[in-house]
A and B are shown apart, each in its own frame.
Chain A
Amino acid sequence: MRIAMISDIHGNLEALTAVLSQIEQQEVDTIYCLGDVIGYGADPATCLDLVDKHCDLVLMGNHEYAVIGYLSTESYNDSAKISVKWTQAALSDRHIQLIKGFPFDHAKDDLYFVHASPNNPGRWHYILDTKQAAVAFEHLKQRLCFCGHSHVPAIFAESPGGPPREKVGHDFVPNEDTRYIINIGSTGQPRDYDPRACFVTFDTDTSDVVYTRVEYDIATAQRKMLDAGLPGFLSERLAVGR
């Protein structure tokens, strides 16, 4: 079975539609969304509807959690605070109910899917280096973990007896005696200096992990954000990929 995974769409409809049409051409069996469908971007409602329609699994992200009022935005930066408020106003009750049904994680056989970290998914811990990865591996029961949250494609590998290794996200085939935490990058707001939308496919038969980057209409996404009155910083970063 081939699974396509998208994450951190952040209300970027242009990026989402570009990625979905690319996935359509790749003959996958199912699409999973690892959370943060909303927040930052100008089209949260449409993105939620599209993801709900096309994905067999949609996980809770911290932006969803904040929008439904379960997470304090105290620690958020100003742009994020403004965007949470703006997004709340842009969503209907139906969307809020939809979000409330999103699970924190999903496990099947030796695969685990989560937005941020297997270490207490509702606490939204970042996995940005091998030290944080070591903690996450302690909480991971499965062999392969796919996550998002940091917007940076990355691969953390833990082999028996050794400390975790870290690599930048790229196509690879997991070794059998190794556990991996695979950050699939971001569809709607990449932060690895590559502004193209990102998604990952995983083939459960061959174990191939493939990262795909997709060009999309960044200018339109930016214009819509500015028209919506969202902070300029949020739209500017889309063009830089940071």
Chain B
Amino acid sequence: MPEIIVKYDDKVVERFVTEKKRISVGRTNDNDIVLENRGVSRKHALIEFNDNAAVVIDNESLNGTFVNNRKVTEELLRQNDSITIGKYTLIFKTEQDADPDDPSGFDGTMVLNTKKHRDMVANDQLERQIVSRYGCSVLLGMENAPFEEVELEREVTTIGKAKFVHVPARGFWMSGIQAKIVREDNTYFLVNLGKPGKTMANGEPVDRHELKNGDLITVGKSTFKFLQGH
């Protein structure tokens, strides 16, 4: 059964397990997951499940629905995806799927104007522009990165300290080819090829990790952000 973990300020406030095919998320009591906060619309979003997939559908909400910090109208969910609604984060557990449906209408939901929300909206737009400029997924240089943006159009992109890799990383204690990013259709995997513990996704050492939009990849001392293309 799929589980939705509801967080507020990084604190788990509710664990929601369901056998339903469709659950609604919103401010009023007739929703399956009730989020009592003014930044949440009355009928904010739907999550639909079928055999092995899940989809979140924004219900034309005022403040929007974000999946892994990207604003979405409808988005396929994967394990551990984070859905941001108002000040809440919903973490999706186990894979499921479905199709859209709607009610709507303005319902007195307040416009969220917190700094965090503004930053998230602005950042999301910026990252979308970058991705659409390249027409594919992109690595953004973050800490200690020797570049700003690298496109991930190849099937295999190598990362390391060797001169011939596609993506150079900084740091001495790592292998020449420390890691690779493998593309399979539009799904990307980060694979460790070198010293154990020197290839990390979101701060955790990994051997093979399916990349999600916004994941932070650290190789040696360099950190990159993975932006999923369409």
Contacts and interface: CB of A to CB of B under 8 A. Distances in A.
B29 A170 contact: no
A175 B27 contact: yes
Contact of A172 (B28, B29, B37): B37
A123 interface: no
Contact of A165 (B8, B34, B87): B34
B17 interface: no
B36 A174 contact: yes
Given A168-B12, A168-B14, A170-B9, A159 B29 contact: yes
Contact of A175 (B9, B11, B13, B29): B29
Interface string A142-184: 0000000000000001011010011110111111011000000
B37 A173 contact: yes
Contacts of B34: 157, 159, 165, 175
B62 to A, nearest CB: 15
Classify the interface of chain A: helix, strand, loop or mixed.
loop
B154 interface: no
Contacts of A174: 36
A175 B9 CA distance: 21
Interface in B122-178: none
B21 interface: no
A170 B28 contact: no
B11 A168 contact: yes
B40 to A, nearest CB: 9
B27 A170 contact: no
Contacts of A166: 14
B37 A171 contact: yes
Select the residue from B9, B12, B29, B87 with max chain A CB neighbours within 10 A: B29
A171 B28 contact: no
B38 A170 contact: no
Interface in B25-61: 27-29, 34, 36-38
Contacts of B12: 168
B36 A175 contact: yes
A172 B14 CA distance: 13
Contacts of A159: 29, 34
B13 A167 contact: yes
A172 B86 CA distance: 11
Nearest to A154: B13
Nearest to B88: A170
B11 A173 contact: no
B9 A177 contact: no
B63 to A, nearest CB: 15
B227 to A, nearest CB: 31
Contacts of B38: 173
17 contacts: A157-B36, A159-B29, A166-B14, A167-B6, A167-B14, A168-B14, A170-B11, A170-B13, A171-B37, A171-B87, A172-B36, A172-B37, A173-B37, A173-B38, A174-B36, A175-B27, A175-B28
Interface of A: 157, 159-160, 162, 165-168, 170-175, 177-178
